[in-house]
């Protein structure tokens, strides 16, 4: 494609015409048909005219719309990646340091977070193609600064630090409100979930409209919520799981006028003790029956033959009435002749520590076997299990999904914007792709 664009002349009925002879409309139509946003961004460096057309926000909207229309019948979706955050503890003369290493898996080998400032960068959450990271401040407070970044464009923005150092954090979420893919001035929330009490969760929420953190109590059914198991974001709502109980919260209900205590949305109980996930705008629970509730459990029959019992159920939050539907119940099987699986219990079980569902296809389920350093793919459509990727030996890997968009999402604008030199609390920078 690039070679074609550099061709100086094209013959049309004996007339000699260059690309620059085309009007803006025709040139835009050609650029809209490029295969992906990476190619478009490369073409923006051809000359000022091309850069001006591509930089127009309307072009970005038309590019995404064109891709959605022309690729729907091909079942084509943007690339996605898993981000594995590895915690490494290093003993020093004075203290224990805890650096974090982030590795991008699947289809995104060129992405990294090395352009972010600070040290000990940790991936906290993702939303589509945006990543929420944190790093320690340079002062003595021990607080961490949050960064919202797009690894593809290398744009990043730093949020104001927390007002004070908080207790142990259970989970973190990033939620952006449409049209986040068309503008930089969209609303967003960063939600921190602390240890639950008898009938409430303590939440700290960063509200983009006011540029401040707010402390909120979320009231939940006390007889059902013993502790927080998992949180997941689906269609702009953050859901909290405890055992078989599930509640939700619209984080945009948190603003400068809301009460300090909010009521959670009570959802239908989960059908089993599974792992909560989101895929294609629906909530999924993946259950792998075993000796321990909710923990995936492979069984090695003989040689390298592997079996996995699995039950997958899903819930459409927009459906009325809200009903869990079982989409798969059975076994996934595989034979690994080239992979040694040394960690086998006396009963022949291989335990797994993480599970993740492909964001565009709920039939593709990835499971991490910590003791075997292996990420495996279970396809509930075919019933097969295949090895996917070998990972560093670490039982405490944390996975996040990165969903590339047809056009990269811009990092959000903040209420107050100052330079990094003026204040480490808020900063924005961009590096060309």
Tell me the C-alpha distance between 420 and 27, whole Å: 39
Name the residue among 105, 126, 132, 129 with its Cα closest to residue 38: 129
Q: Give the range with max mean pLDDT: 46-50, 227-231, 312-316.
A: 312-316
Give the 3-state secondary structure of residue 270: coil
Residue pLDDT, tens place only, 47-58? 888 888 887 878
5 burial via Cβ count (<10 Å: 0-12, 13-18, 19+)? middle
Q: Which helix (H) or strand (E) holds 374?
A: strand 374-379
pLDDT-derived band at 395, boundaries 50, 70, 90: low
- Of all residues in the chain, what percent carry a pLDDT higher than 90? 25
What is the pLDDT at residue 24? 85
pLDDT-derived band at 98, boundaries 50, 70, 90: low
Please say whether the beta carbons of 370 and 352 come within 8 A: yes
Give pTM, 2 decimals. Answer: 0.79
Give the position of tokens 């990543």. Answer: 131
Q: What is the mean pLDDT of the chain?
A: 77
Residue pLDDT, tens place only, 5-22? 444 444 445 555 677 778
DSSP letter at 352? -
Instruction: Compute CA distances 17 → 1, 2, 13, 27, 34, whole Å.
Output: 18, 18, 10, 13, 21
Q: Give the strand pairing for 212-219 and 200-207.
A: antiparallel
Residue pLDDT, tens place only, 158-214? 998 877 666 678 889 999 998 887 778 899 999 998 877 778 888 999 999 999 999
Phi, psi of 19 (to 5 degrees): -60, -30
Instruction: Compute CA distances 133 → 169, 209, 273, whole Å.
Output: 14, 20, 30
Tell me the C-alpha distance between 288 and 384, whole Å: 15
| Domains (range + CATH), the chain | 2-74 (no CATH), 80-403 (2.120.10)
């Amino acid at each position: 494609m690039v070679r074609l664009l550099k061709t100086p002349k094209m013959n049309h009925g004996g007339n000699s015409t260059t690309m620059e002879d085309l009007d803006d409309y025709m040139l835009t139509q050609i650029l809209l048909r490029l295969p992906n946003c990476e190619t478009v961004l490369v073409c923006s460096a051809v000359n000022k005219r091309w850069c001006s057309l591509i930089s127009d926000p309307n072009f970005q909207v038309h590019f995404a719309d064109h891709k959605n229309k022309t690729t729907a019948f091909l079942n084509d979706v943007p690339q996605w990646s898993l981000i594995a955050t590895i915690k490494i503890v290093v003993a020093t003369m004075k203290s224990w340091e805890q650096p974090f290493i982030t590795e991008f898996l699947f289809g995104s080998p060129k992405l990294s977070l090395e352009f972010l400032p600070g040290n000990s960068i940790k991936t906290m959450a993702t939303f589509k193609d945006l990543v929420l990271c944190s790093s320690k401040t340079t002062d003595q407070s021990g607080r961490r600064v949050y960064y919202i970044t797009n690894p593809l464009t290398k744009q990043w923005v730093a949020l104001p630090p927390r007002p004070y150092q908080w207790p142990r954090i259970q989970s973190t979420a990033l939620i952006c409100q449409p049209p986040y893919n068309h503008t930089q001035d969209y609303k967003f929330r960063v939600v921190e979930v602390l240890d639950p009490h008898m009938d409430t969760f303590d939440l700290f929420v960063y509200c983009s409209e006011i540029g401040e953190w707010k402390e909120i109590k979320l009231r939940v059914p006390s007889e059902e919520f013993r502790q927080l198991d998992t949180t997941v974001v689906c269609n702009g709502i953050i859901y909290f799981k405890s055992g078989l109980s599930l509640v939700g919260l619209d984080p945009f209900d948190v603003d400068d006028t809301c009460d300090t205590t909010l009521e959670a949305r009570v959802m239908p109980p989960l059908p089993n003790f599974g792992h909560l996930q989101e895929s294609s705008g629906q909530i999924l629970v993946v259950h792998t029956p075993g000796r321990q509730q909710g923990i995936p459990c492979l069984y090695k029959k003989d040689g390298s033959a592997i079996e996995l019992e699995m039950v997958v159920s899903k819930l459409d939050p927009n459906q009325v009435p809200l009903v869990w539907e079982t989409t798969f119940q059975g076994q996934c099987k595989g034979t690994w002749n080239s992979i040694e699986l040394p960690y086998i219990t006396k009963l022949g079980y291989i335990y797994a520590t993480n599970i993740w569902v492909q964001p565009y296809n709920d039939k593709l389920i990835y499971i991490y076997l910590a003791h075997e350093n292996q990420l495996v793919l279970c396809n509930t459509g075919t019933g097969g299990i295949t090895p996917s990727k070998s990972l560093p030996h670490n039982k405490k890997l944390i996975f996040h999904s990165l969903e590339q968009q047809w056009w990269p999402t811009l990092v959000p604008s903040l209420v107050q914007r100052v330079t990094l030199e003026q204040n480490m609390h808020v900063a924005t920078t961009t590096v060309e792709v």
